[in-house]
Amino acid sequence: MKRTLAKAKITLRDIILGGQDGLVNVLGISLGLFTAHTSTRVILIAAIAAGFSEAISMGAVAFTSARADKEIVQKKTSVLVFDSIVVAVSALLGSLIPIIPFLILPEGYAVIGAIVLGGLVLFALGFLGSDGRTTKKTRGGFEILLIGLLSAFAGFGIGLLLKV
C-alpha cells in the first residue's frame, strides 16, 4: 500500500476540481444570503456548513466517478481514495476563500472582498490549469473566472429574488 500511495501524485486537475467547486458554491451562498440581508453570523454558519458538506460530497463523487471511469478502473483503490481526499481537501480550502472577508471586514465591504478574492483565486486556478503559452494561460484564467462568477452570481440573483 505504501508503494501505491507513493506512486499517487497530487494532480492539478484534482486541486482545481475541488477548489473551484468549493469556492464557487460558498461564494454563491454567501452572495445570496448577503443580498437577502442576512447577518454576517448566519452567512458564516451557512458558508462553513456548506463548505464541509461540499468537501465530503466532492471527495465521494471524485471516488465514485473515478471508479466508474473505465480508464481509471485499473488504478488501485488506495490511489483512488488518495485522489478523492485531494479533491475533498481542495473543496474545503476553496470554500474557505469567500469566508475570509466576512471574518475580517465590515459587512458592506466583506461581500466585495469575497467577490474580489474569489475572482483572483478562480483566475489563478484557470491560469495554472491551462497548458500552453501565456496567452492561453490568460484565456484559461478568464474562462474559469467567468464561469465561476456567473455561477456564484446565481446565488446573488436567488437572494435578490427571494429577499426576506
Tens-binned pLDDT, residue by residue, of the chain (164 aa): 455 444 455 688 888 889 999 999 999 999 999 988 888 899 999 999 999 999 999 988 888 887 777 566 666 777 788 888 999 999 999 999 999 999 999 988 999 999 999 999 999 999 988 877 777 889 989 999 999 999 999 988 888 888 76
Residue 12 identity: L
CA neighbor of 96 nearest in space, from 54, 155, 59:
54
pLDDT at res. 47: 93
Q: Which three cell numbers stand for residue 94?
A: 476553496
- The model scores a pTM over 0.85: no
pLDDT for res 72: 62
Q: Residue by residue, what is the 3-state secondary structure of 72-102?
A: CCCCCHHHHHHHHHHHHHHHHHHHHHHHHHH
For 138, which DSSP code?
H
Q: What is the spatial distance between Cα 77 and Cα 68, in angstroms, rounded to a whole number?
A: 12
The pLDDT of residue 70 is 59
Q: Of 71, 68, 77, 84, whose CA–CA distance to 14 is shortest?
A: 84
Residue located via cell numbers 472577508: 101
Q: C-alpha angle 125/108/118, rounded to 5°?
A: 5
Please tell me the predicted confidence (pLDDT) of residue 1: 47
Q: What three-state secondary structure class fits 110?
A: helix
